[in-house]
C-alpha cells in the first residue's frame, strides 16, 4: 500500500481557476514538503513544513498556498491558475525536518492548465 | 549558493555495460549526498545516501563515493540491466535547507 497518497493523480483546469492538491502520509513523519517537476525544469523545491509549521518557502508566487489541517496532511492550494503552472506536483515527507534526512515521495499529481 | 551539477542529460547503454554518471556539487556546509531514482509514473525514491562520516554508499549494485577534494559524487554500476532504465538524480542536502536536486540523467538500457 502506498504510504504517501496524493489525490488526484491527474487534474485538468482552465486558466484562472483554483484547485487543491491533496497529500496524506502514513509514515508517521513530522516533516512534509512540496516539489514541482515540469518538462522544462528539474525537480524544484516549493515548501517545507515541520509539525505543521512552515519552515521554508521557495515559491515566489502567493498563488501557491500550502494548507496543513493535520500533522500528516499537507495540501496545496493554487489560485488563478496559469498554463505555466502545468507540471507534476510531488508531495514528500521525512522523519524530521533536516537536510540530511531521506525524503519519501508520493507518486505525484499531474496538473494541466488549459 | 548551494548547487548540484549533472552534465549528462541522457545515457544510452546495452545490458551488461558499465554505467557512470557524473555529479559535482557546491556548498560551504558539510554535505549529505544522495542519489535518487525515478521510474515512469512514480515519484523519486532513494537509491543511496552518503554523509561525510561514511564517504561511500552501495545499494542494489550501484556505488557512489563522495570526494571532498574534487567535490564529486559520481554514480556507477558495473553491469546494468534493462530494469535500470530510469532517471537518476544527484541530490545535495546541506545547511539545514531542503534537498537540492540535479537536473537528472535519463538512463536507457537496451536488452
User: Taking CB atoms and an 8 Å limit, are A43 and B101 in contact across chains?
Assistant: yes
Is B90 within 8 Å of B83 (Cβ atoms)? Answer: no
User: In this predicted model, what pLDDT tens digit does every residue of B30-43 receive, in sequence order?
Assistant: 889 999 999 998 99
What pLDDT was estimated at residue A2? Answer: 74
**Closest-CA distance of chain B to residue A15, Å:** 25
* Residue among A42, A98, A107 whose CB faces B42 most closely: A107
Report the run of H or E that residue B21 belongs to, with start and end: strand B19-21
Measuring CA to CA, which residue among B33, B106, B40, B20 is closest to residue A100? B33
User: Taking CB atoms and an 8 Å limit, are B43 and A92 in contact across chains?
Assistant: yes
User: In this predicted model, what pLDDT tens digit does every residue of A6-15 receive, in sequence order?
Assistant: 999 999 999 9
Q: Does pLDDT of B52 surpass 80?
A: no
Determine the Cα–Cα distance for residues B84 and B39; give it in Å rounded to an integer: 9
What does the pLDDT average to over A58-87?
A: 94
Determine the Cα–Cα distance for residues B97 and B83; give it in Å rounded to an integer: 33
Measuring CA to CA, which residue among B33, B84, B91 is closest to residue B60? B84
Using a CB cutoff of 8 Å and minimum separation of 24, what contacts does A65-71 make?
A66/A34, A67/A20, A68/A32, A71/A30
End-to-end, the C-alpha distance of chain A in Å comes to 33
Q: Given CB atoms, is A106 within the 8 Å cutoff of chain B?
A: yes
Determine the Cα–Cα distance for residues A49 and A30; give it in Å rounded to an integer: 8
User: In this predicted model, what pLDDT tens digit does every residue of B70-105 receive, in sequence order?
Assistant: 999 999 999 999 999 999 999 999 887 889 999 999
What is the b/e burial string over A41-66, where b = at least 16 CB atoms within 10 angstroms of the residue's CB? ebbbbbbbbbeeeebbeebeeeebeb
Determine the Cα–Cα distance for residues B50 and A103; give it in Å rounded to an integer: 14
Site of grid cell 545516501: B49
A10-13/A31-37 β-pairing: unpaired
Is B57 within 8 Å of B48 (Cβ atoms)? Answer: yes
Question: Using the 8-state DSSP alphabet, how is residue B27 labeled?
Answer: -
User: Taking CB atoms and an 8 Å limit, are A99 and B96 in contact across chains?
Assistant: yes
User: Taking CB atoms and an 8 Å limit, are A102 and B34 in contact across chains?
Assistant: yes
Amino acid at each position: 500500500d502506498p504510504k504517501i497518497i496524493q489525490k488526484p493523480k491527474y487534474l485538468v483546469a482552465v486558466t484562472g481557476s483554483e484547485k487543491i492538491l491533496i497529500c496524506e502520509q502514513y509514515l508517521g513523519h513530522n516533516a512534509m514538503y512540496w516539489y514541482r517537476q515540469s518538462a522544462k525544469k528539474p525537480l524544484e523545491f516549493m515548501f517545507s513544513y515541520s509539525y505543521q509549521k512552515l519552515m521554508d518557502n521557495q515559491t515566489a508566487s502567493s498563488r501557491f498556498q500550502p494548507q496543513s489541517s493535520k500533522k500528516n496532511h499537507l495540501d496545496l492550494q493554487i489560485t488563478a491558475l496559469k498554463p505555466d503552472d502545468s507540471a507534476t506536483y510531488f508531495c514528500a515527507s521525512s522523519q524530521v525536518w533536516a537536510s540530511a534526512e531521506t525524503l519519501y515521495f508520493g507518486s505525484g499529481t499531474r496538473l494541466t492548465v488549459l | 549558493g548551494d548547487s548540484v551539477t549533472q552534465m549528462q542529460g541522457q545515457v544510452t547503454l546495452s545490458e551488461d555495460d558499465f554505467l557512470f554518471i557524473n555529479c559535482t556539487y557546491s556548498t560551504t556546509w558539510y554535505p549529505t549526498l544522495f542519489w535518487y531514482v525515478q521510474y515512469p509514473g512514480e515519484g523519486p525514491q532513494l537509491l543511496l545516501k552518503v554523509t561525510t562520516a561514511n564517504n561511500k554508499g552501495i545499494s542494489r549494485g550501484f556505488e557512489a563515493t563522495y570526494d571532498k577534494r574534487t567535490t564529486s559524487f559520481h554514480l556507477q554500476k558495473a553491469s546494468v540491466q534493462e530494469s535500470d532504465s530510469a532517471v537518476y538524480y544527484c541530490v545535495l542536502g546541506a545547511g539545514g535547507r531542503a534537498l537540492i536536486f540535479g537536473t537528472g540523467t535519463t538512463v536507457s538500457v537496451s536488452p
